Amino acid sequence: MTYLTEQQNTTHTERDDLSASVLLRIDKECVVPSPRWQFLAVEYGIWVLWGLSVLFGAVAFSVLIFFLTHAGFAVYEATHDSVFELFIDVLPLMWVGVFALMAVLAHFNLRHTKCGYRYTVLRVLLSSIVFSFIGGLLLHVLGIGFLVDDFMSRRMSLFGSLEQIETRLWQNPVEGRMIGTYEGSSPLNNDALFTDAKGAVWHLNIAELNAQDVLTLEGGGRVHVIGIASSTTPFSFHSCAVFPWMLKKPASLTEMRAERTHFLGRMKEHHKNMFDELIASSTLNRLQNRAICGSHKAVQRINKRFAQ
């Protein structure tokens, strides 16, 4: 006999039996419906967790934006051959990881809401990511990315802050880059005294700096200096251009564009000076002090790029 037939033959008494036994068990085990607030609490709890995941994802994204907009892309030729190389070098994997983790958590939470299962994985994941993107942009505009990076670098020495990355990229006199602060003029000559990020005092030759560079250098704040290390006894550095330290606050797009324009202008100027000097002089020795910056890697990179 098939099960359907069995079912069809089931008597009303048997049907009532299950109903009665269920009601009896409800009585016996004192089963009561769980209160509605418990279900609401779980549902709202999941939404709150989703909100938190999106919020933390947004924070991670705002720090990522901060990194990617302040990592020195405006002057990338000073440190790298291409924007891509710089991007790979400065990409904060920890924040990428945090962002990815939060996206997965947000997806997990959303899937566990009452209606979350109705949407595809891609749609749920993308919606959480889009919310984090929008939130991240907003937080970045409010300067949260900068504040988080700043806070984390102060509290956690091992945390790879943008400042640490900048120091790693820029404190390299042999490669023609330094960061530090102006200390005053040397009493012996016209050189500027400059303390780099490692505390070494350098004599900066400022013959090839223009008025804006000098103003930036003497402004008193931390600066980037591009140049050529000429001696280590004493520490001498022929400076070619000076740029403000942009990490002290979230820089605007206008400021970054201005930095880019200034950088390109200065590098092209150095190239032109060197070219003019070469035409005017018979030997390369005469390039000293007046057009030495033309041989800097950054100048050559820019010249090569624009010559193509």
Partner 1 sequence: MHENPSSMTDEEAVAMALLNKEFFGHIVLRYQDKLSSYVHRLGVRNEQDREDVLQNIFIKVYKNLNGFDRSLSFSSWIYRIAHNEAISWYRKTNVRPEGHMVYSGGEEIVQMLSTGEDSAEKMFDVQVNADEVQRALYELDEKYRDPLILRFFEHKEYEEIGDILKIPQGTVGTLIHRGKQELKNKLSQQHLHI
The pairing of strands 222-232 and 177-185 is antiparallel
How far apart (Å, rounded) are the C-alpha atoms in residues 44 and 58?
Answer: 21
- Taking CB under 8 A as the criterion, the residue among 9, 11, 13, 19 binding partner 1 is 19
Q: Decide if residue 20 touches partner 1 (CB under 8 A).
A: yes
Which of the 8 DSSP states describes residue 32? -
Q: Is 232 in the site for partner 1 (CB under 8 A)?
A: no
Residue 45 CB, shortest distance to partner 1, in Å, is 14
Burial of residue 153 (number of CB atoms within 10 Å: 0-12, 13-18, 19+) = middle
Dihedral sign of CA atoms 255, 258, 262, 264 in order: positive
Contact region with partner 1 (CB under 8 A), list: 19-27, 102-110, 192-200, 251-259: 19-27
Quote the Cα angle for 58-60-61, to 5°: 60
| Cα(37)–Cα(50) distance, integer angstroms | 19
With binding defined as CB under 8 A, does residue 44 bind partner 1? no
* Number of residues counted as binding partner 1 (CB under 8 A): 30
When the beta carbons of 3 and 285 are compared against partner 1, the nearer one is 3
Angstrom distance (rounded) from CA 305 to CA 269: 15
Of 285, 290, 300, whose CA–CA distance to 209 is shortest? 290
Among 1, 4, 174, 279, binds partner 1 (CB under 8 A): 4
Question: Which among 17-25, 101-109, 162-170, 184-192 is the span making contact with partner 1, rule CB under 8 A?
Answer: 17-25
Candidate ranges 75-83, 118-126, 202-210, 287-295; the one touching partner 1 (CB under 8 A): 118-126
Kindly report the backbone phi and psi dihedral angles of residue 119, in degrees, each rounded to the nearest multiple of 5, phi listed first: -105, 155
Among 3, 188, 220, 282, binds partner 1 (CB under 8 A): 3
The only residue of 115, 188, 253, 307 in contact with partner 1, by rule CB under 8 A:
115
Given 83, 97, 100, 114, the residue binding partner 1 (CB under 8 A):
114
CB 84 within 8 A of CB 73: no
Q: Would you count residue 73 as binding partner 1 (CB under 8 A)?
A: no
For partner 1, the binding residues (CB under 8 A) are 2-4, 7, 10, 15-16, 18-23, 25-26, 29, 31-36, 38-39, 114-115, 117-120
